[in-house]
Structure 1
Amino acid sequence: MPKAEQTRGRILLTAERLFAEHGVFGVSNRQISEAAGQGNNAAVGYHFGTKADLLHAIVEHHTAQMERIRERLLRARADSTDLRDWVGCVVLPFTEHLSGLGTPSWYARLAAQIITEPQLRELAGAGLHDAPHFYAVIGGLHRCLPTLPPELRRRRDDMARTLLVHTCARREHTLPADPDAARAAWSETAAELIDAIEGLYLAPVTGIKPII
């Protein structure tokens, strides 16, 4: 592997860890460069540009890997009319990817920050323009909910995403060090999330006006 590529990878992983531990806005490019073992304190700027560019690169890196899992799931479930199958296509790319990162990992905790902070969420959303399988999954899920009003469906999508990411962030923080136990923990988390998110979409519509 070329030295520049190794350096980029080391910076990405270091930034991800520091962002997860201290917050995206609590870490400087200089701190990331130093923690990544770079003698040049401007290494982040040289390899990535701004902090926003660095964060975007982290999101793109993980999105590309999750897209490969979505593609596999879509091949097996594309013709399904079962909501649970499609909820699995929402949950499993995230949990399988996190499981594959080993322990410790930090991306779920960073993702929890991203969906909480509007500025970061907008940046992460831009990375999904190159995620066609993500949109295919959402389309398949929505076809299973023909009677759910579009605006309510959108809000439940947001609830499901929040539940998925924050549950995984908590699980990531408490993962056992043993690799087999960690994989089992992710499998258990995935099963619980599929149950919960399927129930969220199938919950009755009571007619109570939403709180804005």
Structure 2
Amino acid sequence: MSTYGDQARRALLDSAEELFATHGVDGVSNRRIAEHAGNANHSAVNYHFGSREELVRAMVTRYAEDTRRRRAELVGLLGPEPGLRDYLSCLVVPFTDQLASMPVPGWRARFLRQLRTVPSMVDIAARNVVEDPYLDALIERARACVADIPDVVITGRSWLLGKLVVDACADYEARLERERVEPDWTGFALFLVDAIAGMLEAPVTSTGDFLGSRTVSAWP
């Protein structure tokens, strides 16, 4: 049974996610987060999380266990000879399933998109990514499927894909709220997998390191 403190923390996390998604991370004060959560204590964020950085850390990691569990299930369902799209599905579907489990309107994808616009928040998120034992292996297997593509090109495309997944999910999330259409996150995940596979497998006409050497996860 959850305690009052647990309920208050969840309310603050939900409030921050919605406000950050709609107004930007820097456009929302801790006091406004508390008020939107219905908490009369304007210092509730610091009381329950210790600091704004800890609040963001909790927001980034709050669904990590569910995502990791779903990815493990999908890996267990892989056939004897999986291909690129199979590996990509194991990477994408846990995130879209997470979004599908949320009520409409949902704010998760739009929050993550806003988070990426603030360098200090990107650093916080990067430092607090929860380890997923399957993630690195899946990325390496997917890369092996396009081994003929130069590493510098794959690295650049992976950076683009990281933006593509989050931005596309954020736009779809917003459309579900705006147009009140029936959600189809399963179909949307397949659409994303097709697009990602197409980009990874696309012919190479330039091998320049245009985006700079970086280690970037392609997956939210």
Indicate whether the TM-score tops 0.5.
yes
Q: Paired residue for 1:195?
A: 194
TM-score, length basis structure 2: 0.87
Question: Tell me, which stretches of 5 or more residues in structure 2 are unaligned?
Answer: 212-220
Structure 2 CA distance for partners of 1:205 and 1:177, relative to 1, 3 Å: closer
* Structure number having the greater helix percentage: 1
Give, in angstroms, the shift of residue 111 of structure 1: 1.0
Aligned ranges 1:169-180 → 2 under 5 Å: 169-175=170-176
Moved more, 202-211 or 31-40: 202-211
Aligned mates of 1:21, 1:32 — CA distance in 2: 12
Structure 2 CA distance for partners of 1:200 and 1:144, relative to 1, 3 Å: same
Whether the 8 Å contact between 2:153 and 2:209 is mirrored in structure 1 is: no
Whether the 8 Å contact between 2:9 and 2:48 is mirrored in structure 1 is: yes
Q: Paired residue for 1:154?
A: 155
Whether the 8 Å contact between 2:113 and 2:170 is mirrored in structure 1 is: yes
Give, in angstroms, the shift of residue 208 of structure 1: 5.5
Moved more, 158-167 or 69-78: 69-78
Give, in angstroms, the shift of residue 64 of structure 1: 2.3
Structure 2 CA distance for partners of 1:180 and 1:25, relative to 1, 3 Å: closer
1:84 is aligned to 2:109: no
Aligned mates of 2:51, 2:146 — CA distance in 1: 41
Secondary structure at 2:176's aligned position in 1? coil
Q: Paired residue for 1:98?
A: 99
Aligned mates of 2:80, 2:136 — CA distance in 1: 15
Moved more, 130-139 or 57-66: 130-139
Moved more, 49-58 or 141-150: 141-150
Aligned mates of 1:155, 1:78 — CA distance in 2: 29
Q: What percent identity do the matched residue pairs reach?
A: 35
Q: Paired residue for 1:21?
A: 22
Aligned mates of 2:178, 2:23 — CA distance in 1: 22
TM-score, length basis structure 1: 0.90
Structure 2 CA distance for partners of 1:122 and 1:78, relative to 1, 3 Å: farther
Aligned mates of 1:141, 1:122 — CA distance in 2: 26
Aligned mates of 2:38, 2:142 — CA distance in 1: 45
Whether the 8 Å contact between 1:16 and 1:107 is mirrored in structure 2 is: yes
Structure 2 CA distance for partners of 1:132 and 1:119, relative to 1, 3 Å: farther
Structure 2 CA distance for partners of 1:73 and 1:64, relative to 1, 3 Å: same
Moved more, 105-114 or 76-85: 76-85
1:4 is aligned to 2:5: yes
Which residue identity is paired with 1:162? Answer: K
1:126 is aligned to 2:118: no
Which residue identity is paired with 2:205? Answer: T
Give, in angstroms, the shift of residue 195 of structure 1: 0.8
Give, in angstroms, the shift of residue 210 of structure 1: 5.0
Alignment length, in residue pairs? 210
Give, in angstroms, the shift of residue 180 of structure 1: 8.8
